[in-house]
């Protein structure tokens, strides 16, 4: 996503649980999507640094159906993306289907992807796929357990058997990935939970089912009990570049503010170099600035900062809450405008009509031109139903609404002339003085005047839109919504205020 050079995170914003594969000179990567639709964003890169979203694996109701009662931070967890027999395979868990695991396939990772093959015999989250020399497909999942499967039919053979799951006492052994590298099969797992204790451990054996010998240097990656600016490092996947070098993608967070530190963008995708010593991987630093790469950088297409909604379909980076029915969201009703038709009453409701994109910069600005003549709606930064800030237009009034836990309040209101109005929000560092109680950022919401000046109606503490306050596994999403009637949006613009 960055076009300024090699920097971490390589895919900023709410892009957790990365899984990667390489085909020739091309890399492909998938992430978790939780309660958002479409599900499982897919990215392409030629250099491991510049990533372009090319689609979503689960982009139609026959693949992904999330009911209104699916909680935020439920839904789609932790995919594994692999290429085998000239086909891409993606296995993932929909935890809102009773832990239902499914496999979809495609010849082109940009899609279309197949309808799901269900795996009722695989009960754990974070499933992995690996094929041995005889073509047998092994599914390894959180716990850590393993079972042989037929990925074409979903049939399992035998009962799952426990494998190595980290050191005694390791919390939450999950995110397993199995690889054949040289003379060994390697089992890479996450341990310690996805919070500050997160880490990566590895073991090796002579067969895909073990027995596995743990690495004496485990965990091979963790930032627990450090003051490193990147925390919660874990849930990793390995890939080998065409030149023979090895790399790791992993999730991490960037906490800000005082104590305990609040991360607001969610878990992001980072890159680290890997070397091998005595047939064990050694992970280099997860640094904000990547080391010089042994190949030229190949920037891909950069998403335009402004969307004028001139296409018949939305860009793949736009996501909605649980579903996106065409009757409630379309660019075809009023050419050059996004039309949203309310279903719930506001963003507090699980069936709210919302179209947003992930916040990807710690400091940024978002604006939209809204025509509220037929309804009520606006611009919001959302973490979940109980944690969001919005600037909303209705008739000749705009108002700022804050929802933090059980508290919901109209913070400010101001009359505006009838007709379309530009609503905006900026996210910036908190003003000084700073101390241990200072939050990670502030969110200012307001109206843009005809002369281009921005009138701030309210500035709110960003900590209440953080995982440390709200809980869960997602990050902020900024976008447009309809609270009543029909609302039209002419354009949406998003820009970083600093790299």
Residues known to be catalytic: 17, 174
Which residues face 382 on adjacent strands? 388, 477
Residue 12's Cβ-side half-sphere holds a number of Cα atoms within 13 Å equal to 21
Nearest to 424 by CA among 385, 398, 396, 451: 398
Question: For residue 432, what are the contacts with CB-CB under 8 A and spacing of at least 6?
Answer: none
CA distance 388 to 382: 4
CA distance 279 to 180: 12
Nearest to 8 by CA among 250, 271, 233, 229: 271
Taking residue 75's Cβ as centre, other Cβ atoms within 10 Å add up to 25
Question: For residue 277, what are the contacts with CB-CB under 8 A and spacing of at least 6?
Answer: none
Residue 32 in tokens = 């978790």
CA distance 257 to 348: 27
Taking residue 456's Cβ as centre, other Cβ atoms within 10 Å add up to 14
CA distance 9 to 15: 10
Which residues face 89 on adjacent strands? 82, 105
Nearest to 370 by CA among 336, 326, 334, 337: 337
| Greatest CA separation for the chain | 73
Taking CA atoms, 395 is separated from 309, 417, 420, in Å, by 23, 9, 10
Q: Long-range CB contacts (< 8 A, 24+ apart) of 227-233?
A: 228/286, 229/254, 229/288, 230/8, 230/254, 230/270, 230/286, 230/288, 231/196, 231/255, 231/261, 231/263, 232/194, 232/195, 232/196, 232/198, 232/263, 232/267, 233/198, 233/199, 233/200, 233/270, 233/286
């Amino acid at each position: 996503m960055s076009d300024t050079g090699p920097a971490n995170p390589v895919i900023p914003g709410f892009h957790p649980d990365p899984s990667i594969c390489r085909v020739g000179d091309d890399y492909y990567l998938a992430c978790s999507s939780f309660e958002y639709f479409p599900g499982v964003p897919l990215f392409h890169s030629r250099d491991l640094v510049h990533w372009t979203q090319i689609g979503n694996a689960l982009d139609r109701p026959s693949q992904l159906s999330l009911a209104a009662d699916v909680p935020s931070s439920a839904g789609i967890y932790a995919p594994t993306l692999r290429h085998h027999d000239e086909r891409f395979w993606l296995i993932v868990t929909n935890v809102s289907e009773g832990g239902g695991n499914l496999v979809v396939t495609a010849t082109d990772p940009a899609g279309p992807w197949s309808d799901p093959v269900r795996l009722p015999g695989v009960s754990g989250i974070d499933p992995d796929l690996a094929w041995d020399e005889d073509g047998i497909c092994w599914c390894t999942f959180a716990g850590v357990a393993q079972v042989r499967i037929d990925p074409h039919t979903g049939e399992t053979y035998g009962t799952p058997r426990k494998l190595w799951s980290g050191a005694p006492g390791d919390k939450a052994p999950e995110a397993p990935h199995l690889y054949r590298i040289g003379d060994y099969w390697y089992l890479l797992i996450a341990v310690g939970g996805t919070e500050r204790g997160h880490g990566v451990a590895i073991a090796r054996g002579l067969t895909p089912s073990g027995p596995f010998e743990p690495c004496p240097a485990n965990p091979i990656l963790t930032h627990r009990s450090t003051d490193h600016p990147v925390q919660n490092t874990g849930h990793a996947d390995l890939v080998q570049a065409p030149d023979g070098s090895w790399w790791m993608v992993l999730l991490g967070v960037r906490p800000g503010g005082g104590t305990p530190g609040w991360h607001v963008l969610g878990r992001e995708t980072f890159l680290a170099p890997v070397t091998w010593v005595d047939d064990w991987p050694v992970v280099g630093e997860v640094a904000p600035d990547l080391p010089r790469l042994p190949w030229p950088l190949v920037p891909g297409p950069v998403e335009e900062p402004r969307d004028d909604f001139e296409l018949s379909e939305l860009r793949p980076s736009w996501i909605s809450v649980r579903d996106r029915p065409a009757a409630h969201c379309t660019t075809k009703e009023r050419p050059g405008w996004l039309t949203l038709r309310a279903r719930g009453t506001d963003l507090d409701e699980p069936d709210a009509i919302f179209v947003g994109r992930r916040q990807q910069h710690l400091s940024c600005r978002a604006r939209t031109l809204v025509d509220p003549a037929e309804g009520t709606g606006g611009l919001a930064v959302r973490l979940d139903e109980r944690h969001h800030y919005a600037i909303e237009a209705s008739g000749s009034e705009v108002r700022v609404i804050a929802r933090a836990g059980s508290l919901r309040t109209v913070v400010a209101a101001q009359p505006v002339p009838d007709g379309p109005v530009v609503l905006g929000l900026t996210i910036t560092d908190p003003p000084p003085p700073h101390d241990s109680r200072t939050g990670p950022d502030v969110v200012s919401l307001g109206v843009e005047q005809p002369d281009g000046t921005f009138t701030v109606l309210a500035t709110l503490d960003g900590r209440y839109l953080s995982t440390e306050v709200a809980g869960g596994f997602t990050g902020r999403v900024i976008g447009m919504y309809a609270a009543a009637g029909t609302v039209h949006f002419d354009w949406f613009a998003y820009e970083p205020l600093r790299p």
